[in-house]
Chain A
């Protein structure tokens, strides 16, 4: 028991490694913030494009979304970070990870937004168009605000998964929370930094899990 406290919940080690962990946490937060925003933005653009009247882009979008979703996010990251330099494109680890999150998350978000837009736009979008609103006006003022509300539950679930996936950035040596924790573990020869990193991740993600559960319950109640 003493052994476990000393190796996993060691206050001294935690105090010694706190700087590294907090710097890592900040990097993780920056990566998540940027990655989620860019993923949502690109997902929304793809969904609106796919729904637009001129649909010549559709086959390309469908193939793109399918392929990106079929490739695991860590493979996308490896492709960006380890193969692009061979054609002269060298992205720092942070931007490679941001790009991987945007591509992967964007493909998933676009499917979610599309479902929402399709659910709303049939009747209401057409009504708005017949009142003289342009396509984009109808999309912005009528369809999207309602579509966003109905896709909130899958949007939250997807965001949770995307944030969890951000830890793969540690594999391309980005000094994020996980990387810094592994680093301090090997210098202190103690597992406490890793436990500390998990606790920080949980502080960030447990509220999101509660939100997902809340939406699931509300959906079951039929509201």
Chain B
């Protein structure tokens, strides 16, 4: 191993400075996509979980079964394979999506499969007696769900949701494979321009600065959140 090369190739200050604007634009795309994916994933997952919980009482079994198939298929599919299907295969059916839209939709759908399970577990964890109490006070099913069950279910779910949210935000870097100009893609681009791998190291440092506090936060939530619920 050539140790002199490490400073020149891995931590070259000139390249680091020159690459920074590119990396910043990539970081902005990563943050934007992550935000949209998390919003879509959480909202869609919550809706699916409520539908599936409703299913136990009113709707027939088929809808619950459909949601379960959706959830299982998406949980079993590698992100990159789904992303390739959406981006490279859907055009054969006449559906052309931009890299941005393809990424947001694919990861949003994958996240919703995880959050459906999480919200459903939260809904089921709320004591049955509360349902009965609320219903006997004259609240309808949806009223009970909205005013009594969901506030508690969502609170229970927070640590697991945070965990999943961080995991999916990390996985979004895979979208660089379909040329989404995210942090990783811009770093590879800068590496090509400067013929020096420093930008890639720099991107890794930015990822650590971004995700390390979030990972610590999820650990904290898992330990402290919901004590005494």
Contact = CB atoms under 8 A, between A and B. Distances in A.
Interface of A: 3-4, 7-8, 66-67, 69-76, 78-79, 82-83, 86-89, 160-161, 163-168, 170-171, 178, 181-182, 185, 190-191, 194-195, 197-198, 201-202, 205-206, 208-210, 212-213, 216, 220
Interface in B156-197: 167, 170-171, 173-174, 176-177, 184, 188, 191, 196-197
Contacts of A210: 72
Given A83-B9, A190-B92, A220-B124, 17 more contacts: A66-B215, A67-B212, A70-B208, A70-B210, A71-B211, A74-B174, A79-B200, A79-B204, A82-B197, A83-B10, A87-B3, A168-B177, A170-B177, A195-B85, A197-B81, A206-B72, A220-B125
Contacts of A191: 85, 88-89, 92-93
Contacts of A160: 75-76
A78 B88 CA distance: 22
Contact of B78 (A72, A83, A166): A166
A160 B113 CA distance: 15
B121 interface: yes
Nearest to A208: B76
15 contacts: A70-B212, A76-B204, A86-B197, A88-B1, A160-B75, A161-B167, A164-B79, A167-B78, A185-B88, A194-B81, A194-B85, A202-B73, A208-B76, A212-B75, A220-B121
B101 interface: no
Contact of B89 (A79, A88, A165, A185): A185
A214 B94 CA distance: 39
Contacts of A70: 207-208, 210-212, 215
B81 A67 contact: no
Given A191-B88, A205-B76, A220-B124, A79 B201 contact: yes
Contact of A75 (B184, B197, B216): B184
Residue in B80, B81, B171 whose Cβ sees the most chain A Cβ within 10 Å: B81
Q: Give the 7 A-B residue pairs with the shortest CB-CB distance, closest first.
A: A191-B89, A83-B197, A205-B76, A167-B78, A7-B92, A70-B211, A86-B9
Contacts of A72: 170-171, 173-174, 184, 207
Which DSSP category, helix, strand, loop or mixed, fits chain B's interface? helix
B87 to A, nearest CB: 10
B77 interface: yes
A205 B92 contact: no
Contact of A195 (B72, B79, B89, B203): B89
Given A4-B93, A8-B92, A198-B85, A216 B184 contact: no
Contact of A209 (B75, B84, B197): B75
B137 interface: no
Residue in A7, A70, A194 whose Cβ sees the most chain B Cβ within 10 Å: A70
A118 to B, nearest CB: 13
A171 B177 contact: yes
Contact of A8 (B80, B89, B203, B212): B89
Contacts of B9: 83, 86-87
Nearest to B184: A75
B212 A198 contact: no
Contacts of A212: 75
B63 interface: no
Contacts of B89: 8, 185, 191, 194-195
A75 B84 contact: no
Contacts of A178: 78, 80-81, 84
A83 B200 contact: yes
B65 interface: no
Contacts of B84: 178, 181-182, 194
B77 A168 contact: no
Nearest to B214: A70
Contacts of B203: 75
B111 to A, nearest CB: 13
